[in-house]
A = this chain, B = another copy of it.
Amino acid sequence: MAPIRVGIVGLSASPGGSGWAKETHLPYLQASPAYEITGILNSTLESSQEAVRAFKLTDTAKPFPDIETMAADPDIDLITVCVEVKSHAHFVKVALEHSKHVYCEWPLAKDLKETEELAALAKSKGIQGYVGLESRLSPVSVKLRELLSESIIGKVLSTDVTGTLGTPPKIWSEKALFYLDVNSGQSPLHTRFGHFLDAFCFIVGELDEFTSLLATHEKEVKVYDVAVPLLAQAATNPDATSRMVQRTSPDEILIHGKLTSGALTSLHIRSGSTDADGNNLRWLITGTEGVIEVTQKAGQFL
């Protein structure tokens, strides 16, 4: 079978970029015989050309100036979208309108309305659309699902997740303001917690009913006009300019609910420190015959 020809939206080669596509999409696409990278689209044509050169894609990949041109190109089968969430809907919509398959980073769009419109469009076109929810593929997730499918702890009675998003930052970057904005679709609620919740439901089943409670403890954040890695340096520079920004995204998340299985569940993603053992995630699954406990010292949940 001929390889799937992939156009990548958002593959920054510059040090100020997020680095996400470079570190996750690119190595796999380059290593797998199932894919061939045939296009790159960054915010400018120059930046697209720079990425083609920097990542040595010159034999195969065209730099594109805009999504319309990339989506119309007959040498593109699949478009992957790896940019700020606020722009997801724009790129995905054009790709779908040109009947290209799509792989878009989670979350697909900034709110439910946009998401439902894109899903309906993909369906009407008969297109395969994928959203990048990778936590369910982690070894921990796969093993947990396997253990529960074997009823290793009997019938599941309850599950309990506690974890921390870390201490809310008092300083932040203009380049990542979406983090502070609950309406961006890219706050920690949507991204870090969203990924975890997908894996959670994949493992123990969907929530049948729930209530939630959110809090924003650190409401005012000092924002510097530098990239995230340069924040600490800016904060000690008396000449660095900054402004105060109101944070609206939550830094603490509570969900109480009942799973379709009848098991009760509590998810409490707090602010502040790890627990006294240094865990930033602790997940207890209690059954009639035993208990499974997952703890994690650092890094992304699952």
Q: Which residues in B have their C-beta under 8 angstroms from that of A293? A: 275-277
**Contact yes or no, B291 A273, CB < 8 A:** yes
Q: Which residues in B have their C-beta under 8 angstroms from that of A268? A: 158, 160, 256, 264, 266
Residues of chain A in range 71-119 having any CB-CB distance to chain B below 8 Å: none
Which of the residues B158, B162, B164, B271 comes within 8 Å of A271, measured between beta carbons? B158
**Contact yes or no, A286 B266, CB < 8 A:** no
**Contact yes or no, B276 A270, CB < 8 A:** no
The interface-forming segment of A39-47, A121-129, A186-194, A210-218 is A210-218
**Contact yes or no, A256 B252, CB < 8 A:** no
| A245 adjacent to chain B (CB < 8 Å) | no
**Contact yes or no, A215 B288, CB < 8 A:** no
**Distance (Å) between the CB of A116 and the closest chain B CB?**
28
A contact residues, range: 35 or more
Name A's interface SS: strand
Q: Which residues in B have their C-beta under 8 angstroms from that of A276? A: 284, 291-293
**Distance (Å) between the CB of A213 and the closest chain B CB?**
5
**What is the oligomeric copy number?**
2
Q: Which residues in B have their C-beta under 8 angstroms from that of A167? A: 288
Report the Cα distance A276→B160, complex, angstroms.
13
| A65 adjacent to chain B (CB < 8 Å) | no
Residues of chain A in range 249-297 having any CB-CB distance to chain B below 8 Å: 252, 254-258, 262, 264, 266, 268, 270-277, 284, 286-288, 290-293
**Distance (Å) between the CB of A196 and the closest chain B CB?**
16
Additional A-B contact list (7), CB under 8 Å, known A157-B252, A162-B284: A157-B271, A160-B162, A162-B266, A215-B262, A252-B264, A256-B266, A271-B286
**Chain A residues at the B interface, C-beta cutoff of 8 Å:** 157-158, 160, 162, 164, 167, 211, 213, 215, 217, 252, 254-258, 262, 264, 266, 268, 270-277, 284, 286-288, 290-293
A-B residue pairs in contact (CB < 8 Å), sample of 14 = A157-B270, A157-B271, A157-B272, A158-B271, A162-B266, A162-B284, A164-B286, A215-B262, A215-B264, A254-B264, A256-B268, A272-B288, A274-B291, A275-B284
